[in-house]
Structure 1
């Protein structure tokens, strides 16, 4: 009788309270935002402890030791992940790991500024027992270090046993720059290469290319972590960095962009950095306000009106109960026919002069489908409540089809 139940229905509590749902939603939003931030900055947060030959590596072939030692002795040693930071007058140390490393852009950027390129030497594999460590598998082919500066600078690499003998520096170099030769020793030779440090046979270990402060270190073991075990080698390494640096320099920069640890600019990262950060915060605030508006109702809710008022519902229910109790459902057919006929006369504007059979004949002519007289006869003949209901529904459908 009504789409809203009569009376007050018992309240039932849901499986989750409003507070619980709010906490779950807030936690989900926070985790989603955290995932976005980590996804944007994950490449920048890599530790670099992959056993490579670069300034983030703790392996024997890495250079994290000289970085930490320089910082501990008051030198401003910095690890560079952004190529834009290489535009400085301070010394920049480049550590390409293979001859296939693209050095063109960095060399062009550092052409007239103090730069030290450390050539690769060792072929290693990861140590399965210690994360970030490596095991030696021999020396790299000579074409790897030779290809670092090729083809602009044609270097020839040589290796030979050194016996740990002292290396020879220029007379005007600081006295603290006094290295013992690594074993084996890697040296180089080139047409435009000026020797700064050599071995006892004249092989160049540290050289300068051209007239600009662009230096090449043939053997990385002078500055690698393996060299930092010896206090004399470590002291000489610091003195060498000071000697190669520009006058009045404040920092020593160790580049790791060539080793795959540079900061890349992505659309997702731009959303969390100025000037786009303001727009991101504005969008987040708008979404937050929209969510609050969707969950918090402003004012009292408007209740839907009942399809049938309380008094009419009770009257209809009582009348239906009396008819069922008296078992008079079968006698309702003729009365319902009269009711539908009267409504049809008013709806279709049937002339008032038509009566009985003439009226039914006029109603039959309104459609080519079901005839009113046939439906009326079925309703009058119905005695079973089910037949009566079907006949009444057929009459109602006939009237509805005419008025729609």
Structure 2
């Protein structure tokens, strides 16, 4: 493809469009990078409030919302207004126990222990298959060191149909068909919900507001596949939750913690105003750079200095006095001296003798003009045009006499 002279490869509109698209793309990338944790759907098959898998708790979150219970999916520290809320922790087997201990909350806390080993299904994002129950000791290992001593976790192999009640005998719902029912016991644990054998599935740590749900199937999506399971799950949460308070599902233990970064701070108040001002300054600087051609010129002095300034000032005075033609004769004298020096003319000659000598040399070398004639024209110059004409002829004569060398 040929490009005409004076034309660029791209039109100005194309260049401006590319610049705008590039700036917007870079800004979008920065915003997405800053808010990436919040933009994750969370439906990864894990055991947390964003997961809709069989071992996840997305079902109970949706159920509570539909029944009018306030639900919060927490990705960071809890505010002061959440002291009466029920905090639900759903640690995985890989969750360090000290993370649970570091989760500060003054209100009731319900820790849901893990029970199943799950693997992701190929070709079905967010789906998992349970391949067996974990050992009770592994489920116990997720509890913090402060409440783990003296705690025992037991599993009953096979499918059972327990009836869950309060210790006083209040029935929570119909019988449920549960596989590998997991229970909790210990001297420091007060039973809150028990099965028909008297084993606790929900217990309160003595002297604290920490509850433990030993069997996650009473709360996860797998347990809510029947109406009976949903009824028991809601009644269990009503026991440990104060009337009218919200339910907070913690997501920080499952890798969805909202992190603080410089980029994120710049995109949120109160630093958002500073970011907008900086962006506006970049836009104005870009417009100025696009409108200006070439490098920025340095500001010149009001009174110039140096030889060039002296010559320019002198020329300005001569031009102001309209005496440019008077410079023709002095210029002819300078040219004569330069040529005489270049061709080696004798130094003892007078001005008239030197003019005659230069005329003889010019005749011998075949120059097109005689210096005496040019000197007479210089003396008779009356306008700036006469000056330029004779100066041009003197320069040509000089080049012919010196053969282009000085």
TM-score, normalisation: structure 2: 0.69
Deviation at 1:203, TM superposition (A): 2.5
Specify which of 116, 141, 146 is matched with residue 147 of structure 1.
141
2:48 alignment partner in structure 1: 54
1:254 aligns with 2:249: yes
1:226 aligns with 2:215: no
1:39 is paired with a residue whose SS is helix
Deviation at 1:286, TM superposition (A): 0.3
1:264 aligns with 2:264: no
Deviation at 1:242, TM superposition (A): 1.8
2:273 is paired with a residue whose SS is helix
Question: RMSD between aligned alpha carbons?
Answer: 3.3
Q: Distance in 1 between matches of 2:284 and 2:120?
A: 52
Specify which of 63, 66, 80 is matched with residue 74 of structure 2.
80
Q: Distance in 1 between matches of 2:267 and 2:231?
A: 43
Please list every run of 5 or more consecutive structure 2 residues that lacks an aligned counterpart in the other structure. 298-333, 349-364, 366-398
- The change in CA–CA distance for 1:184 and 1:282 in structure 2 (over 3 A counts) is same
Q: Is the 8 A contact 1:82 1:262 kept in 2?
A: yes
Q: Is the 8 A contact 1:55 1:63 kept in 2?
A: yes
2:111 is paired with a residue whose SS is strand
1:280 aligns with 2:269: no
1:366-397 Cα offsets, whole Å, 9 max, x none, are: xxxxxxxxxxxxxx9xxxxxxx99x967x46x
Q: Distance in 1 between matches of 2:130 and 2:21?
A: 48
Deviation at 1:189, TM superposition (A): 1.9
1:136 is paired with a residue whose SS is strand
Q: Is the 8 A contact 1:177 1:240 kept in 2?
A: no
2:186 alignment partner in structure 1: 190
Question: Structure 1 stretch 85-94 or stretch 18-27: which is displaced more?
Answer: 85-94
- The change in CA–CA distance for 1:107 and 1:29 in structure 2 (over 3 A counts) is closer
1:63 alignment partner in structure 2: 57
Q: Distance in 1 between matches of 2:181 and 2:336?
A: 113
1:308 alignment partner in structure 2: none
Specify which of 92, 110, 126 is matched with residue 97 of structure 1.
92
2:178 is paired with a residue whose SS is coil
Question: Structure 1 stretch 22-31 or stretch 146-155: which is displaced more?
Answer: 146-155
Aligned length: 312
TM-score, normalisation: structure 1: 0.69
Q: Distance in 2 between matches of 1:252 and 1:243?
A: 12
Q: Is the 8 A contact 1:167 1:197 kept in 2?
A: no
Specify which of 279, 289, 301 is matched with residue 284 of structure 2.
289
1:374 alignment partner in structure 2: none
Q: Is the 8 A contact 1:59 1:134 kept in 2?
A: yes
Q: Name which structure has the greater RCO, CA cutoff 8 Å, separation 6+.
A: 1
1:340-373 Cα offsets, whole Å, 9 max, x none, are: 9617979xxxxxxxx73669xxxxxxxxxxxxxx
